[in-house]
């Protein structure tokens, strides 16, 4: 088991390096976030032993449990799932990053609840780039107003944008949706916001996301295997 997680991380990392090179980008310009949702703390510990430090979780309870269990390890926890207002406190107290900011109200709560003993919570605004009603994220035309409001909150540091494109094999559709996010990022940079993070790309579309400018890929299945949901 240890071997297989370590080997999977090595092979995903090799894939990232190859995609960076193919896109003419510097080696090491894309970070790997290991998405450990549904997997036990022991799997996170194995990935940690293989050198992985940044982990992504989608469910507040799971984040809380694993962060407590693995408190002795120097892990950077990223919350990447939908966040309701009654759960913001746990995330504000536990996570280092939140990728899924889509409303100002949630951002305000996170800012207020961030303990002053901790550095600001690092956040990305999630954009709905596919236009699908079922998808989380703010609409691209709402991003500018939200970004400026989030950037002004004292407990948060706005780092960039995140998206989950449509689940499709169509390379052109994917490229257009990734490009939409990069375009919004460029606009915000021109406004003077310093954004260094483009969170896009998962197990199946990592290379396309890197070609489109991703700086952080969120990879679960290719590291930990297929997920089994118990509920
Ligand atoms: C589950 C999840 C991932 C990882 O997806 P894989 O296809 O397993 O790599 C990435 N980002 C978000 C927001 C997720 O919920």
Q: How many CB atoms lie within 10 A of CB 98?
A: 27
Rounded to whole angstroms, the Cα distance separating 94 from 77 reads 8
- 183, two tokens: 């375009």
pLDDT tens-digit profile, the chain (231 residues): 446 999 999 999 999 999 999 999 999 999 999 999 999 999 999 999 999 999 999 999 999 999 999 999 999 999 999 999 999 999 999 999 999 999 999 999 999 999 999 999 999 999 999 999 889 999 999 999 999 999 999 999 999 999 999 999 899 999 999 999 999 999 999 999 999 999 999 999 999 999 999 999 999 999 999 998 764
Contacts of 81 (CB under 8 A, 6+ apart): 37, 57, 58, 59, 60, 100
Ramachandran angles phi, psi of 198, nearest 5°: -120, 105
What's 119's DSSP letter? P
Question: How remote is the CA of residue 41 from the centroid of ligand 1, in Å?
Answer: 17
What's 147's DSSP letter? H
Q: Which of 202, 208, 210 maximizes ligand 1 atoms within 8 Å of its Cβ, making it the mutation to test the pocket?
A: 202
Q: What is the pTM of this model?
A: 0.96
What's 138's DSSP letter? B
List the residue whose alpha carbon is closest to atom 6 of ligand 1.
220
């Amino acid at each position: 088991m240890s071997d297989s997680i370590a080997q999977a991380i090595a092979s995903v990392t090799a894939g990232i390096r190859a995609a960076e090179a193919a896109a003419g980008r510097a080696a090491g310009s894309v970070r790997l976030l290991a998405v450990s949702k549904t997997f036990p703390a022991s799997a996170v510990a194995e990935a940690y032993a293989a050198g992985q430090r940044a982990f992504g979780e989608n469910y507040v309870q799971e984040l809380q449990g694993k962060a407590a269990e693995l408190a002795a390890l120097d892990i950077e926890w990223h919350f990447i799932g939908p966040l309701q207002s009654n759960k913001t406190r746990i995330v504000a107290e536990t996570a280092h990053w939140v990728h899924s900011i889509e409303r100002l109200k949630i951002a305000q709560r996170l800012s207020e609840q961030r303990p002053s003993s901790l550095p600001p919570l690092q956040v990305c605004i999630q954009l709905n780039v596919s236009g699908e009603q079922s998808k989380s994220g703010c609409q691209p035309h709402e991003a500018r107003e939200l970004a400026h409001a989030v950037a002004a909150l004292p407990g948060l540091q706005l780092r960039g944008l995140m998206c989950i494109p449509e689940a499709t094999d169509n390379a052109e559709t994917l490229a257009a949706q990734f490009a939409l996010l990069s375009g919004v990022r460029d606009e915000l940079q021109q406004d003077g916001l310093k954004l260094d993070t483009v969170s896009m790309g998962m197990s199946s579309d990592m290379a396309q996301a890197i070609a489109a400018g991703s700086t952080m890929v969120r990879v679960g299945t290719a590291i930990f295997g297929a997920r089994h949901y118990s509920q």
